[in-house]
Amino acid sequence: MLARVKSGALQGVDAFIVEVEVDLAFGATAFITVGLPEIAVKESIFRVKAAVKNSGYPFPAGRVTINLAPADVRKDGTGFDLPAALGILCAQGIVPPEGLEKYLLFGELSLDGRLKPTRGVLSMALAARDAGLALIIPPANIREAGVVAGLDLYPVETLSQVVEFLSGRLDLLPAPPPPPEGQNPEPVFEVDFREVRGQEPVKRALLVAAAGGHNVLMVGPPGAGKTMLAQRLPSVLPPLSFEEALETSKIYSIMGRLLPGKALITARPFRAPHHTISDAGLIGGGTQPRPGEVSMAHHGVLFLDELPEFRRSTLEVLRQPLEEGRVTISRALSSITYPGRFMLVAAMNPCPCGFFGDPRQPCSCTPKQIHQYRAKISGPLLDRIDIQIQVPAVKFQDLMDTETGDSSRSLRGKVIQTREVQRKRFSRSGVFANAHMSPRMIRTHCPLDEASQRLLEAAMERLGFSARAYHRIFKIARTIADLEGAAAIAPAHVAEAIQYRTMDRNLSLVYNYGAKEASVKYLRELIEPYFK
């Protein structure tokens, strides 16, 4: 007595089809699940047995063997409860096998036979559609799966309802698609850039970052407004496209983080983990791998406040996602890849006490302490942060100023317009922002005139920029030109891009104040003529 039921399992953020094979045999009473099941799958025997009996159906005596094929991939989650129960009933002849061929079943069973919501249904719906199968799921997951077009969905309340439907004794029509969650062209945010007093150069840097998808590091004393500025960055980012919303929602679905009644993540995520977070919490992983904060911030903002307070090993794991836009977690039996294309926004003090360079507060740190503090951020990681901006203390006059700067709405309009230019530029390349350009794209889209080349050459030789920083300057200059509607990069654009690299190695990793002041003075002399 053998039965086969189609279900699915998650690998990373995507799902694949799993064939649940159920075999009933005579012998001592036993329930065996094979096919690399995790703990939640092994425990399903207790839920399935109780649900079958409490739904009024017999549970077979003897040996029950369940195989989850392919057998060489780990299976996790509670979604195998429903297909296992249907397989057992089919093997007993209660459910006809031909009724199971065109459906993918996924759902957790309660002890009385009711179907409970399950994580990862959005990915499962995409896999079912690609395989040409209809999907039977708990009613609580219907809105989540309903965003997948071209898929027949059957929400069922209980195990007995599924049995009656598959046996032909109950007529169920596919559920109508839920009302679309349209993208709001003018989303409402609780915060606004207009609330930030002063800090106009920093606002300009964040505008450039938002327009090109660049990573940002803000350095300044306590109370200068770094956190306040970072929290307002999502309010100027362009709205998520449907494809971006679907990718982000898949991650939140497998984590069980979708809001009740919501099918999609329609606002760009803003994640701000504490500096005590573990490597696995930030990048993903664990004994049963799960996405980390990096993936939860996909297509959004990852804010790391007090950057040097994070463990260095934790920060170093950011290198791959910052460079490639994804996270690969390797284990002995498998390798899982999670998406991780995000804007990194980091904030830090200039020194341990926080007042180095502040004209009003004396710094109590020694040069060695300052060096050790800043050395917690490695050169390779610093190279991957496009824009590095100083955030000075806010003056009293700025705090009392009644005039307000640009609102998030007006800045958002500029960002959307600039992103549209980039979308057309990279329409056939799979790149959506200047920050993601490859070296080949930089050569194609970022040509420099002779004056710009001389300026960049002088900066490279005197300030010791790395090759990666060299490419970052090109990308930032391209974004600045796009913001101003310029087809070609001008020397002024390059000069502004150079000033956003003020935390590079020979400006930050110095042992005495004099060397730093000399470098900053040279930088000022180099770029000031282009802003007159």
- 477 pLDDT more than 80: yes
CA distance linking residue 20 with residue 524, whole number of Å: 68
User: What is the arithmetic mean of pLDDT over 36-42?
Assistant: 90
Give the C-alpha distances (Å, rounded to integers) separating 514 from 367, 498, 519: 11, 21, 9
Task: Provide the pLDDT for residue 448.
Answer: 92
What does the DSSP assignment read for 364-396? ---HHHHHHHHTTS-HHHHHT--EEEE-PPPPH
- 394 pLDDT more than 90: no
User: In this predicted model, what pLDDT tens digit does every residue of 262-284 receive, in sequence order?
Assistant: 778 888 999 999 999 999 899 98
Instruction: Give the rounded distance of the alpha carbon of 480 from its chain centre.
Output: 26
With beta carbons less than 8 A apart as the criterion, state whether 490 and 452 touch. yes
With beta carbons less than 8 A apart as the criterion, state whether 128 and 8 touch. yes
CA distance linking residue 2 with residue 179, whole number of Å: 41
Question: 512: pLDDT confidence band, cut at 50, 70 and 90?
Answer: very low
Task: Provide the pLDDT for residue 435.
Answer: 92
What does the DSSP assignment read for 63-127? EEEEEEESTTS-B-SSTTHHHHHHHHHHHTTSS-GGGGTTEEE--EE-TTSBEE--TTHHHHHHH
- 471 pLDDT more than 50: yes
The dihedral built from the CA positions of residue 462, 463, 464 and 469, taken in this order, carries a sign that is negative
- 312 pLDDT more than 60: yes
Task: Provide the pLDDT for residue 331.
Answer: 72
Which secondary-structure segment (H or E) carries 218?
A: strand 216-219
- 70 pLDDT more than 80: yes
Q: Which of 82-86, 266-270, 311-315, 457-461 has the highest mean pLDDT?
A: 82-86
- Report the 3 state secondary structure along 119-156: CCHHHHHHHHHHCCCEEEECHHHHHHHCCCCCCCEEEC
- 34 pLDDT more than 50: yes
The dihedrals phi and psi of 329, each to the nearest 5 degrees, come to -110, 115
User: In this predicted model, what pLDDT tens digit does every residue of 105-115 receive, in sequence order?
Assistant: 999 999 999 99
- 90 pLDDT more than 50: yes
- 355 pLDDT more than 90: no
- 129 pLDDT more than 60: yes
User: In this predicted model, what pLDDT tens digit does every residue of 156-194 receive, in sequence order?
Assistant: 999 999 999 999 899 888 888 766 554 444 567 788 888
Question: 511: pLDDT confidence band, cut at 50, 70 and 90?
Answer: very low
- 516 pLDDT more than 60: no
Grouping H, G, I as helix, E, B as strand and the rest as coil, residue 331 is coil
User: In this predicted model, what pLDDT tens digit does every residue of 402-461 receive, in sequence order?
Assistant: 666 788 889 999 999 999 999 999 987 878 899 999 989 999 999 999 999 999 888 888
Length, in residues, of the chain:
532
User: What is the arithmetic mean of pLDDT over 398-403?
Assistant: 68
Q: How are beta strands 134-137 and 290-291 bridged, if at all? A: unpaired
Instruction: Give the rounded distance of the alpha carbon of 372 from its chain centre.
Output: 31
Peptide bond into 179 cis (omega under 30): no
CA distance linking residue 411 with residue 211, whole number of Å: 10
Q: Nearest Cα to 291, choosing from 18, 11, 8, 37?
A: 11
- 218 pLDDT more than 90: yes
Cα atoms found within 13 Å of the Cα of residue 9, Cβ hemisphere only: 22
The dihedral built from the CA positions of residue 231, 233, 235 and 238, taken in this order, carries a sign that is negative
Task: Tell me the whole-structure pTM to 2 decimals.
Answer: 0.87
Sorted by where each starts, the structural domains of the chain and their CATH numbers stand as 2-166 (3.30.230.10), 193-436 (3.40.50.300)
- Name the percent of the chain lying above pLDDT 90: 53
Mean pLDDT of the chain: 87
Task: Provide the pLDDT for residue 513.
Answer: 40
Beta bridge partners of 109: 115
- The pair of three-digit structure tokens given for residue 483, joined into one six-digit string: 């913001």
